[in-house]
Amino acid sequence: MAGLIPDPTTASLTATLQRARKVKRMSQLELSLRMGVSQRHVSFVESGRARPSRELLMSWLAELEAPLVLRNAAMLQAGFAPAYSEAALDDPVLMQAHDALVHLLETHDPMPALVIDANWRVVLLNKGAQWLTLTLVPRFSQTLGTGPISLLDMLNHPEGLLSVMVNAQEAGSVFLAELRDDAVLNPNLAPQVELFGARLRERLGAKQLASVWPRGSTPMLTLRFASPFGELAFFRMFSTFGSPQDITLSSLRVEHMFAADEHTKAVLRMHVLDANLK
């Protein structure tokens, strides 16, 4: 699958701009009106007949709501310096953001909460998420605390999350749609996304999988998992940084999981609040 994020050493600026606009399903005319330039100039830049200024290129990519990593790639392709930093989350320059994330996770205990990057890797998680991971997929216990753990690996493994997902017919379809949307922007995800699709079809059957999407029978999707403590049910919310100016921060999202019934709430309170998790 062709992706939106180009390799600045091989892709051209014209290809990057054309692809970014088409992903947003925006015409050259609409883009030109938003930027206050002529459609002809947009056409000339996209065809390579005109070279944009740094200011125009920044405005262009902002109108397309392009990911920050793509904006940097386009800048390099145009011969300009990158516009955005890309520091590691544990870099001192991101200490304030890191501390805010840790605080957000801790205040959500005992309910699970985790920080996911653009590659669906779990980079931070609270005690509730640690307990839930160890309970549902104990084979990943050795991985916790050793570095980012791939949520896609946890989904795709034969003994992973899909194997204990009670309502895979409904929830699996939603996960697959989310993952495929992300893979449009990040082609590195595509192999694992399609592996998940294959595992889902293997479990449900192609006909059964196709018959459940979209459903829309409830206002929120509930994830239901089989566990040694009975069925656990959760719904999810996501939060992100507002107006991030760093590529790392722009790629992070916090997934908050909330108990969808009293049984789940009681189990989490009993086992997480009393647990001695690091």
The pLDDT confidence band at residue 215, using thresholds 50, 70 and 90, is low
For the segment 27-46, what is each residue's pLDDT rounded down to a tens digit?
A: 999 999 999 999 999 999 99
Residues 6+ apart with CB under 8 A from 128: 108, 109, 110, 111, 112, 113, 257, 268, 272
Domain identity same for 170 and 146: yes
For the segment 67-117, what is each residue's pLDDT rounded down to a tens digit?
A: 898 899 999 999 999 999 999 888 999 999 999 999 999 999 999 999 999
Phi-psi category of residue 67: left, alpha or beta, with phi > 0 → left and psi -120 to 50 → alpha: beta
Give the separation between CA 38 and CA 265, rounded to whole angstroms: 57
Neighbours of 2 (CB within 10 A): 9
Give the separation between CA 76 and CA 96, rounded to whole angstroms: 29
- CA dist list (Å): 94 to 25, 164, 243: 34, 36, 15
Domain identity same for 35 and 138: no
Give the separation between CA 97 and CA 254, rounded to whole angstroms: 12
Q: State the residue range of the domain holding 52.
A: 13-77
Which residues face 259 on adjacent strands?
234
What pLDDT shows up at residue 10? 54
Residue % of the chain over a pLDDT of 90: 62
| In the predicted structure, residue 270 carries a pLDDT above the cut 70 | yes
**CATH number of residue 45's parent domain:** 1.10.260.40
CB contact at 8 A, 129 and 113 = yes
**CATH number of residue 103's parent domain:** 3.30.450.180
Domain identity same for 73 and 154: no
| In the predicted structure, residue 3 carries a pLDDT above the cut 70 | no
Domain tally, the chain: 2
